[in-house]
Amino acid sequence: MPTALQHRPAIAADLDEVISFPQSAEELFFCYPKAAWPLDVGQLAAAMAERRESTVVTLDGKVAGFANFYQWQHGEFCALGNLMVAPWARGQGVAQYLLEVLEGIARDQYKAPVMKVSCFNANTGGLLLYTRLGYRPAAIVERRASDGARIALVQLEKSL
């Protein structure tokens, strides 16, 4: 993993960069299903306002990743949301680093013994990443894609 990876809380000035990360309506659906394509600062700011621990990862000083908790229950669990990686930074350990950072926050600040993630069945990269990092399927629930098609949401968990 590059030593150039660092993290910090996300700030309003990061949003212009982060909204450029999803490269298609499908990618946006994977990381923020309620958002409308194309992602804009208002939508992301609204998500940040109702979520916790919005965090960015920088690679060589440039914002390269973003994620937060969309659910949290102190002493019980945290659920990862809005995981996005800049196209230029993909395949360089950004998502793994970001997950490790948020797992640490969940464990240390929220005393959460479990981290939860949800990943759509069509998001092969996400499913492979999560399982490689120790997440195990806990449930599969039916959801609807933006075109109304049936889609499976795989809910995964990892003991912290």
pTM of the model as a whole: 0.96
The pLDDT assigned to 3 comes to 61
Burial class (CB in 10 A: 0-12, 13-18, 19+), 24: exposed
Give all domains of the chain, ordered by start, each with its CATH number: 5-112 (3.40.630.30)
Low-confidence stretches of the chain (pLDDT beneath 50): 2
Burial class (CB in 10 A: 0-12, 13-18, 19+), 150: exposed
The pLDDT assigned to 146 comes to 81
